[in-house]
Amino acid sequence: MIRALRYVGQAAVLAAFVAAVGFFSGNPSFRHFPEGEALLKVSFSHGGDRKVECRKRTPEELAELAANMRSALDCPRERVELRFEIDLDGEPLYQALLPPAGLAGDGPSRVYERFALPAGRHVLDLRLRDSRRSEGFDHVARRAVEFDAGQSVAVDFRGGEGFIIR
């Protein structure tokens, strides 16, 4: 009797254990993204212009350099920081100065941002400055995008092509 009870107890403990394992391996469910919204991801990796223009070395300077280092142009490798702005339906959504990567500041600037938007048609104004100019932008684009609920839309930027919607 006691023995049988113990078997029942053992079965009950193991059943409870695997029931808990089975349940919590998929429940309760979790809402990660609100209903009726869409996701805008903005991400690119792009190197701006050199911070300082290349400069011709004077003959005296050249003479001071080791023979194998004597190149006529002096080009500091540091890049400018990018100025990047997004307007959504005419309202500012995002503005940032994107510093170049790397210890010497000679790498590309990078951005990765995500925004949840109400589903529907939206107009995106995208502006990027990647040169040494202090005002205005080098790349400007306006895109009208239809966002379905639950859709994920990515804005990327490539040097040759400008802004692209992926």
Partner 1 sequence: MTALQRILRPAFWRLDDWTSRVFGAAWNPLYNLGALGFFFYWIVAVSGIYVYVFFDTGVTEAYDSVAYMTEDQWYLAGVMRSLHRYAGDAMVVVMVVHLIREFSYDRLRGARWFSWLTGVPIVLLVLASGITGYWLVWDQLAQYVAIATTEWLDWLPIFGEPIARNFLAPDALDDRFFTWLVFLHIAVPLLLLLALWLHLQRVSQPRINPPRGLAAASFAALLALSLVVPATSHAPADLAMVPTVLNLDWFYLGFYPLLDLWSHGTVWVTAAILTLTLAAMPWLPPFRRPAVALVNLDNCNGCARCAEDCPFNAISMERRTDGKPFDREAVVKGSLCVSCGICAGSCPTATPFRRAGALVPGIELPDATLATLRDRLDRTADPAGQQVYLIACEHGVRPETLRRPGLAVAALPCVGALPPSFIDYLLSRCGAAGVYLAGCAEGNCHFRLGDTWTEARLERRRDPGLRKRVPRERVRCDGFAPHQSVRLRRSVETFLHDVRELPTQEIPSARQLGARFGRAHGDGGVGSP
Q: Which residues bind partner 1 (CB under 8 A)?
A: 6, 9-10, 13-15, 17-22, 24-27, 29-35, 38-39, 41, 43, 45, 101, 107, 110, 112, 114, 150-154, 156, 166
- 30 or 90, CB closer to partner 1? 30
Q: Which two tokens stand for residue 87?
A: 């307007």
Query: Within a 13 Å sphere around the CA of 102, how many CA atoms are in the beta-carbon half?
Result: 13
Shortest Å, Cβ 129 to partner 1: 21
Among residues 136 and 159, whose Cβ is nearest to partner 1? 159
- In the complex, minimum distance from the CB of residue 106 to partner 1, in angstroms, rounded to a whole number: 13
Measured from the CB of residue 92, what is the shortest distance to partner 1 in angstroms? 21
Residue 27 or 134: the one with the smaller Cβ distance to partner 1 is 27
Of the candidates 98, 109, 86, 103, which has an alpha carbon nearest to the alpha carbon of residue 159?
109
Q: Give every CB contact of residue 22 below 8 A, 6+ residues apart in sequence.
A: none
Structure tokens at 148: 């379905």
Say which residue the tokens 């998929």 belong to. 26
| 3 state SS of 85 | strand
Shortest distance (Å) from residue 47 CB to partner 1: 12
Task: Report residue 123 as tokens.
Answer: 């107009």
- Choice between 26 and 59, CB closer to partner 1: 26
